Amino acid sequence: MIRLNDITSLVQSYHPKADIELIEKAYVFSAKAHQGQIRLSGEPYLSHPLEVAYILAQLRMDVVCIAAGLLHDAVEDSDATLDEIEKLFGGETATIVDGVTKISKMHFVSKEQHQAENVRKMILAMSTDIRVILVKLADRLHNMRTLGFHPENKQIRIATETLDIYAPLAGRMGINRIKSNLEDLCLFYLEPEIYAKIKDETGQRRGEMEKFMTEVKAILSAKLSEVKIQAAIKARQKHFYSIYKKMVDQDLNVNQVYDILAFRVIVNSIKECYEVLGHIHSIWKPVSGRFKDYISVPKANMYQSLHTTVIGPLGQRMEIQIRTWDMNRVAESGIAAHWRYKEEGSVATKADQKQFSWLQQLLDWQKNLQDPREFLESVKMDLFPDDVYVFTPKGEVKSFPKGATVIDFAYSIHSEIGEKCAGARVNGRMVPLRYQLRNGNIVEIITSAKQHPTKDWLNLVKTPRAKTKIRQWIRTEEREEGINLGRALLEKALQHDGLSQVNVFKSEQVGAVAKELSFHSVEDMIAQIGFGKLSPRQVVGRLKPRIDMEIDRSRGLVSKMVSRFRRARPDHGIKVNGVSDMLIHFAKCCSPLPGEQVVGFITRGRGITVHLASCRHVREADPDRLVPITWEAVGKEAYPATLRVTSVERKGILADISAIISQKDANIIHAEIKTTVDNKGIAFFTIEVESYRQLQEIVRAIKKVKNVLIVERV
Ligand code: MN
């Protein structure tokens, strides 16, 4: 087990003036917080924070980071609070501990590549201080090293998560040591047989490889001392996971993977790097297309080196990397190398931190962007870098621009869920629609059948998808309103000109007029009337001559038609010229009831329409087409009538009115309620009555209902 002393002496070795007291204080605090807790390995819990702090010291981190490493589990796994930590160790330490705690609380169920990428971005976005990620990586590394004490299903879950999320994250941060360490541990738990095989085979070839390494080193160092370049030559076996990757990618057996050795030449200057490259190529033949110059074009994680592959002394390929000592440090510790103590021992400044947050964004762009448009989009996103990442209840991660609300989330699932979104539960608590998503939120949308988008929603959403869908919905809604209003206006104009028999949606003549005015459809034309962009008079003006022509053609056919419409029909209680079995229907404009004064209007092809004698349409109609009709005493038959009831808004008023209508033995076939701006309720009831008398009784009764102002027949 690592002891405090191991850590402090390691820190002092790279930073003699370090504030060791802070580390000691953190150690005492952590020991007290985790007192009595035991790891599955049987070791005291404290061994874990100690190991984590030691890994951070190996990365040559500053004391704040190492203290945070010692304290990283204190808030989650003991009674200690963040406030205490802030008071005792300062804001920076507290921020790091808080960040690590938040990430540790989340469970990633990453099955898809795309999801894993989102999770990695979420972790980056949540880490306002880059040291949060470094502590988290050290934490994960030690947990992976002690994973053997867990049951198998947990081993697989954690190893999968590590391979999907944390190893790539370490790679992105340029910390190759941790990355390859994590990858090998993952391979051990996820592919134990392959791991054993690689270990076995490479073990058997060890002698042969040692010989080969010695030979290459000897040739190289002879050449370099001849040209007087001071260099360190290192040879190592590639880590198991990279051998495994080669086997999978190229479909090879372990013993078919030849270049399992990698050589590294470390020199003092960049100039010497290129010189060494020349000398290597003069000794061994380079494999074309394998040379990479990461010195002039560094990787986004700041990695720099020359890479070349040559045909070695035994005729096999070998990779050689050439770099300076500075570059070597960056290659091993990546971003951590930049967070270390400065030469003179000063801690990283605020300006550095700013640079790191910029760096963090740069790291984000490192996604092998090939399409320049994609790159631009990515840059755009990162100039406003505040994306937030949240979970669905199933653990899927979704990303949103900062300021996005639960409505954005709802639309990202499905536009229907967006339209019906009434609120949400975030981490189990109810929140309103305007709630802005925060990193790590678990969001569950609540829908309501009564909900629908409004114009206000446009101010609440941030995603283009939600904006477009809401606008679409509003447009459709407005169009419907436009059509309704347009229809009413057009019908009124038609009535005025005595053309109320025209069905605006079905009439061929109206369709012809729409075409004449170059609309795509009758509906388009009517919507434009509703929007006030087309006058109904214009339409009627064009319609009237067409209809008059039709009527002219039908003039004189009255008697013929009357006989044509004679056929067996259910008894409707109407006699036309004393004949009772005519094809008749009741006019919708005035809905006559038995007992009222009526008159018949002969239509083209639809029989006789029964109007009230007082109906304006009758007065304006062609007298040649009117026929006298009378009511007959008949059995029960229901006739529709519509009432408009204006009232002051009151709870229960509709129930009262409905009750009266059914008490009077009438059926309600349709009811519609509107509220006016001045808080009046206007209700339309279409009811079925048997006689005019019954209707009058109902009207009288409704008038007596409290708060009812006007009852009229429409
Ligand atoms: Mn931990």
Could you tell me which residues come within 8 angstroms of residue 449 by beta carbon, excluding any fewer than 6 positions away? 420
| pLDDT at position 383 over 80 | no
Does the annotation mark 419 as catalytic? no
Neighbours of 461 (CB within 10 A): 27
The predicted-structure confidence for 599-642, as pLDDT tens digits, reads as follows: 888 776 667 788 888 888 888 877 777 777 777 655 556 778 88
pLDDT category of residue 174 using cuts at 50, 70 and 90: confident
Q: What percent of the chain has pLDDT over 90?
A: 33
Identify the residue with better confidence: 473 or 575.
473
Mean per-residue pLDDT for 8-13?
92
Mean pLDDT across 215-227: 93
Average pLDDT over every residue of 559-567 = 43
What pLDDT digit, counting tens, does each position of 633-678 carry? 555 567 788 888 888 877 777 778 888 888 888 888 777 777 776 7
The whole-angstrom separation of Cα 361 and Cα 367 is 12
* Range of weakest confidence among 59-73, 300-314, 521-535: 300-314
Q: Identify the pLDDT of residue 620.
A: 80
Confidence tier at 574 by pLDDT (50, 70, 90): low
Report the alpha-carbon distance of residue 536 to residue 492 in Å, rounded: 9
Q: Is residue 579's pLDDT more than 90?
A: no
Q: Decide: 132 and 94 in contact? Cβ < 8 Å.
A: no
Residue-level pLDDT at 110? 55
CA of 107 to the centre of ligand 1 (A): 14
Extract the tokens encoding 493. Answer: 């104009």
Asked if residue 398 lies in contact with residue 412, where contact means CB atoms within 8 angstroms, the answer is yes
Question: Of the residues 21, 76, 112, 571, which is catalytic?
Answer: 76
CB 285 within 8 A of CB 276: no
Residue 364 bears catalytic tag: no
- For 238, which DSSP code? P
Tell me phi and psi for residue 638, to 5 degrees: -100, 140
Instruction: For residues 585 and 546, give the distance between their C-alpha atoms in angstroms, rounded to a whole number.
Output: 25
Give the pLDDT score at 575: 66
Say whether pLDDT at 113 is over 80. Answer: no
Q: Which of 644, 147, 58, 125 is nearest to 340 (CA)?
A: 58
Angstrom distance (rounded) from CA 51 to CA 286: 43
Q: Which pLDDT tens digit goes with each residue over 72-107?
A: 999 988 888 999 999 999 998 999 999 999 888 877
| Side-chain half-sphere CA neighbours of 303 within 13 A | 23
**What are the residues facing 307 on neighbouring strands?**
292, 321
* Predicted confidence band of residue 340 (pLDDT cuts 50, 70, 90): low
pLDDT range class, residue 577, cuts 50, 70, 90: low
Task: Check residue 503 and report its DSSP letter.
Answer: -
Give the model's pLDDT for residue 264: 95
Residue 570 pLDDT: 44
Q: Does the pLDDT of residue 23 top 90, yes or no?
A: yes
Sign of the dihedral through C-alpha 662, 665, 670, 673: negative
Q: Which of 19, 24, 43, 77 is catalytic?
A: 77
Q: Give the model's pLDDT for residue 707.
A: 85
Cα–Cα distance, 467 to 484 (Å, whole number): 26
Residues in the chain: 714
pLDDT average, residue stretch 504-520: 87
How far is ligand 1, taken at its centre, from the CA of residue 7, in Å?
17
When the pLDDT of each residue in the chain is averaged and rounded to a whole number, the result is: 82
**What are the tens digits of pLDDT across the range 256-282?**
777 788 899 999 999 999 999 999 999
* Residue 660: predicted pLDDT: 84
Place of tokens 């795309």: 114
- How many other CB atoms are there within 10 angstroms of residue 455's CB atom? 9
Of residues 628, 644, 634, the one with CA closest to residue 594: 634
Please report the pLDDT score of residue 98 as a whole number: 92
599 C-alpha to ligand 1 centroid (Å): 92
- Confidence band (pLDDT; 50, 70, 90) for 516? confident
Report CA(55)–ligand 1 centroid distance (Å): 12
Q: Of 128-132, 136-140, 173-177, give the range with the top mean pLDDT.
A: 136-140
Summarize pLDDT for 439-493 with one digit per residue, the tens.
878 899 999 999 999 989 999 999 988 998 998 898 888 888 889 888 888 988 8
For residue 585, the tally of other CB atoms under 10 A from its CB is 13
| Contact of 217 with 260, CB cutoff 8 Å | no
Q: What is the pLDDT of residue 371?
A: 39
Query: Looking at per-residue confidence, does 680 or 215 come out higher?
Result: 215
How far is the centre of ligand 1, averaged over its atoms, from the C-alpha of 419 (Å)? 43
Nearest to 33 by CA among 23, 22, 44: 44
In the reported structure, the alpha carbon of residue 135 is separated from the centroid of ligand 1 by a whole-number distance in angstroms of: 9
Q: How far apart are CA 75 and CA 80, in angstroms?
A: 5
Least Cα distance to 121 among 309, 308, 348, 360 occurs for 360
Instruction: Judge whether 267 and 324 are in contact, CB under 8 Å.
Output: yes
